[in-house]
Structure 1
Amino acid sequence: MGLYDAYLAGLPTKAPFRAFPECQSKASLLTTAIEHHGLPRLAIDIDPDVRDHLEHPPPVSSWVADVQLYGAVCALADGHGYGPAELERWIATLARRLYRQPIYRFLMLVVSPERLIRGTAKRWGAFHRGTELEVRESAEHRVVIQIRRPRPTLGIVQPSMVASIQVAIEEAGGKEVVSSVLDDRADTLDIELTWR
């Protein structure tokens, strides 16, 4: 089973790519993915909305339903022959490229990871709707964040989401960043990040 099919299997069976319409993200990840690797040959049975996002990428500032965005990213990954580990590395690479683009770089301009964390909920809100990020604990070189979201919206993409948050800490100057999922419930995900 490919990543697209694995992601689809975690979504509601009725109109899966129309589920959770309140959960949206900026299209920048998708457009960066297509720019980075191009559009591979796609499977025939991809959802029409997902296919449309791939064949006619929306502007980076557009809002796209999370389930369609992640479905499109999984379809791209399948087209390039990626498994879960390659998807995670690829998303981390894309996140790094994205955070360095001029349009988003001003959001990442911080002195330290600690300062990034202080404004992280606001930064999250600049890229996401219908989900929330909250700092639960914060200390020097350590943070616990909680993402409130319906679990199916991330599915198999969840490790990649964690990796992209880890990259944000690295881009803010964190060294030897380690992330771990502390708790994964139906509507919340708790992640610990440490660095030096």
Structure 2
Amino acid sequence: MIFFELFYTFFIIGLFGFGGGYGMLSLIQTETVVHHQWLSSAEFTNIVAISQMTPGPIGINAATYCGYTAAHNAGFSTWMAMLGSTTATFALVLPSLILMILISKMFMKYMNVPIVQNIFAGLRPAVVGMLAAAALLLMTQENFSSPITNPWQFGISLFLFVITFVGTKYMKINPIRMIGYAAVAGILLLY
């Protein structure tokens, strides 16, 4: 049944999703779109956009929306789709809850031990790689169009991407303002 698959899939994602929500996005996409085919690529892109706009951690928001959409796409009613949403969210959070309870006292005792420091030093590059993978997975035709299909939209998308990157990274413009500016520019330039 899909609910057991949702629980198992999101439990594994929660168990190996180092780097927070953005690090989990590539795992969530691989499992929900490619492996289980519960969602289409366009649905996943919309879920990521909604997850970023709503309050709360992006990984948990994405799991909530993916669970609902997967159950809904499988033909379940709205109430059962909400159970899929709850199942995916709980399964994603459960490994972190268990691990934090088990290691909280141990970490404070052994955090200055060289082996523990080396483990965290080894995890840092993996986290950066997972964040980069999440960014690259979102650079799809649904988000940027293509130079062949719609050159104007592709050019505007690249322009907005570069301007937003420069604005937030180098000019230190508040990311919330940049989202608003990009939305206004997208409305004016693409419609």
Give your verdict on TM over 0.5.
no
Structure (1/2) with the larger helix percentage: 2
TM-score, structure 2 length as denominator? Answer: 0.27
Structure (1/2) with the larger strand percentage: 1
TM-score, structure 1 length as denominator? Answer: 0.26
Q: Which structure is larger by alpha-carbon Rg, 1 or 2?
A: 2
